[in-house]
Amino acid sequence: MTFMQSQRRLGQARRTFFEVGGEPAGSVPETILRSWRRCQRQGLQAQSKPLVEPVPGARLREMRERHETLWRLARAELELLSGDVAATGSIVILTDEKGWILDAEGNPAFLDKAGRVALMPGACWSEAHLGTNAIGTAIVEGASVEVRGGEHYFAPHGILSCASSPIFDPYGQLVGVLDISGDANVPHIHALGLVRLAVTHIEHRYFDAGIDGCELLRVHLDPTLLGTAREGLLAFRSGKLVAANQVGLTLLGLDRSEIGRVSYDALFDEPLSALRRDGVLLDRHGHPLHGRVDAGDARPRPLASRQPITVSSSARHPRVGEAVLFDRALETELERARRVLDADLPVLVQGETGCGKEVFARELHRRSARAGKPFVAINCAALPEGLIEAELFGYEDGAFTGARRNGNTGLLRQADGGVLFLDEIGDMPLALQPRLLRVLQERELSPLGGGKPIKLDFALVCATHRDLNEAIGAGRFRADLYYRIAHHAVQIPAVREHRDREQLVRELWARLGQGRHLTTEALAALADYAWPGNLRQLSACLRTLVALHDEGAVIGMPSLPAYVPATPASAPRASEGQGAINDLQAITDHAMREALQACGGNVSRAARLLGVNRSTLYRRLPLQGAGKTAGV
């Protein structure tokens, strides 16, 4: 439907509802129709011009002080979004839980236009006062809302197109709304997605200081999302869920009304010690959640909790099951890489997703001369382009309105003296690559907002699953940055390329099995499977088998995941013939196709089942028509 067609349809819906008194079901979203009914019941006159009087400046300052926590936690998102939406003639708005506008930034011309309908700080945009609008209706509905043009209840507001998402604190209480508003004549396709993403970051930030007296679980089905704003956060006190973010609630099938009421035992089949011990916890439906536990007195660093970033003060010993990666060949590579790193030269680690690149980098740090210094790991693929610059390079006090007092040192400075690990460097936004290159060349940075350049001292380790030469040819990666980071390259082999997969499984099971035993057939099947998700998938599979069986149990073929096929006794082993090695690619593709078929063509579900990224399936298989069911 074209823009003009949608406008005509909306005009007809308004006439049906406001003039005829009919129900234009199907012509406008049900959320809008519910709001229109509420406003009509309150006696609001749709053709009138509502009177809005913004509060005086002194009162606005009082409101901001009363909501200082919300305002402070949302400022970074306001600043970043305002720059993005200004180009589309839009503004970003923050309100309190009642709809009072605390802040508005963005396109100056539209700020003036919005002022004509009092869309400005100090005005209240509750639904009861101003009818159907994204801010007020999102408060009533308790959910994200988009209101375009004539969907607003009051006719004068038809100049606006608005998208809002409510903000909730860790205890499930509504604390505010984030909104993007623009000209109704301009399409704002991604506005709702942008505010939802920003709210996810704001809500995640509420957990920065920890939850007093609680054990905070950081969990997700996908371990690569741990440490990001998309991880689930669940705080338990005395066995009861007392705080959670929306991601955590969604993972467990809960809503906010259950915070403070549901018990730990009602949600999980295993004690919390299982998560501490194995890094995996089964929920009440038997789904394995990856994660960790933060004790009540171990408060996470703010930056690490709100971004896909980890900051370790010093080298830690490998987790159970990680050391098996380092066979004789990799031990040699580790030693060579250590010598390069200790000479202050960068190391590039390459390999497929899940093969253990970060494990290698952490072990490299642990063995290096900088082992007692910080290890800062940043996932370049998971950081939004608009957010990475401020967090990576830092900013000075006063760099922008509402910036943190005394500024933000930035992650590069946190790595000073230690090791900076840039994971998935091949996915770093192209616009950011020149600035990183300058920092690597000059070993100094200038924070946002100016200030004196700061000298840096860190060793650099980068990792990627991408072919950087191909990316350079396609214009996605700068050749000069590649030559700056690739002084010494290490290739981590995929599990299917391991010279003795049976020994690999044996050693990993010896570390994870905890008194459980694999039958000969089960061991053979696990060894013969190609493991497209590499060590991450193999480890997750073995941990799940441990979780599902008691100590002393004998685990046979019926207990293995469906994607691991039974292996006939006469089948050749990968280490027993060159033909089997040549067939590994076909085995991998076959396993991917089976998983895709088992999931009804849903690429996301198949990827989760295999422990790989969706991009891996898209790259490896033709997926005839699978993209149509690639839902999450």
pLDDT digits (tens, 9 = 90+) for 596-626: 776 767 776 676 666 666 656 666 665 434 4
Segments making up each domain of the chain, as ranges = 57-204, 215-300, 307-491, 496-627
- How many residues can be counted in the chain? 632
Q: Which residues, in sequence order, are CB contacts of 157 under 8 Å at separation 6+?
A: 117, 130, 131, 133
Query: What does the pLDDT average to over 168-174?
Result: 95
In this prediction, residue 382 carries a pLDDT of 66
Q: How confident is the model at residue 230 (pLDDT cuts 50, 70, 90)?
A: confident
SS3 state of residue 602:
coil
Distance from C-alpha of 87 to C-alpha of 590, rounded to nearest angstrom: 47
**Between 350 and 321, whose confidence is greater?**
350
Got the DSSP string for 389-417? HHHHH-B-TTSSTTPPTT-B--HHHHTTT
In this prediction, residue 626 carries a pLDDT of 40
pLDDT digits (tens, 9 = 90+) for 523-548: 999 999 988 888 888 888 888 898 88
In this prediction, residue 587 carries a pLDDT of 62
In this prediction, residue 579 carries a pLDDT of 41
In this prediction, residue 331 carries a pLDDT of 86
Q: How confident is the model at residue 474 (pLDDT cuts 50, 70, 90)?
A: confident
The answer to whether 144 and 195 have CB atoms below 8 angstroms apart is yes
In this prediction, residue 514 carries a pLDDT of 87
Kind and range of the H or E run holding 585: helix 584-598
Q: What is the CATH code of the structural domain delimited by 307-491? A: 3.40.50.300
Q: Which residues, in sequence order, are CB contacts of 380 under 8 Å at separation 6+?
A: 388, 422, 423, 424, 425, 426, 427, 428
Hey, what amino acid is at 78?
A: L
Q: What is the percent of the chain where pLDDT is above 70?
A: 79
pLDDT digits (tens, 9 = 90+) for 380-398: 776 655 555 566 666 444 4
Q: Which residues, in sequence order, are CB contacts of 309 under 8 Å at separation 6+?
A: 227, 303, 376, 377, 378, 379, 391, 411
Cα of 63 vs its chain's centroid, Å: 32
Distance from C-alpha of 410 to C-alpha of 393, rounded to nearest angstrom: 5
**Between 2 and 496, whose confidence is greater?**
496
Query: What does the pLDDT average to over 241-251?
Result: 95
pLDDT digits (tens, 9 = 90+) for 507-524: 889 888 888 999 999 999
Q: What is the CATH code of the structural domain delimited by 57-204? A: 3.30.450.40
**Between 499 and 402, whose confidence is greater?**
499
Q: Is 55 exposed, middle or buried (0-12, 13-18, 19+ CB in 10 A)?
A: middle
Q: Locate 239 and state its tokens.
A: 């066995």
**Between 97 and 2, whose confidence is greater?**
97
In this prediction, residue 52 carries a pLDDT of 86
**Between 146 and 300, whose confidence is greater?**
146
Q: How confident is the model at residue 219 (pLDDT cuts 50, 70, 90)?
A: very high
Q: How confident is the model at residue 585 (pLDDT cuts 50, 70, 90)?
A: low
Got the DSSP string for 227-289? TSTTSEEEEEETTEEEEE-HHHHHHTT--GGGTTT-BSTTTBSS-HHHHHHHSEEEBTTS-EE
Average pLDDT, the chain: 81
| Closest CA relative to residue 381, chosen from 277, 477, 315, 451 | 477
Distance from C-alpha of 138 to C-alpha of 95, rounded to nearest angstrom: 11
**Which residue is associated with the tokens 């040699």?**
332
Q: Locate 281 and state its tokens.
A: 């916890």
Distance from C-alpha of 538 to C-alpha of 249, rounded to nearest angstrom: 28
Hey, what amino acid is at 462?
A: C
Q: Which residues, in sequence order, are CB contacts of 568 under 8 Å at separation 6+?
A: none
Distance from C-alpha of 246 to C-alpha of 251, rounded to nearest angstrom: 9
User: In three state form, how does the secondary structure of 333-358 look?
Assistant: HHHHHHHHHHCCCCEEEECCCCCCHH
Q: How confident is the model at residue 91 (pLDDT cuts 50, 70, 90)?
A: very high
> Does residue 140 carry a pLDDT above 70?
yes
> Does residue 401 carry a pLDDT above 60?
no
Hey, what amino acid is at 248?
A: G
| Closest CA relative to residue 388, chosen from 201, 257, 606, 171 | 201
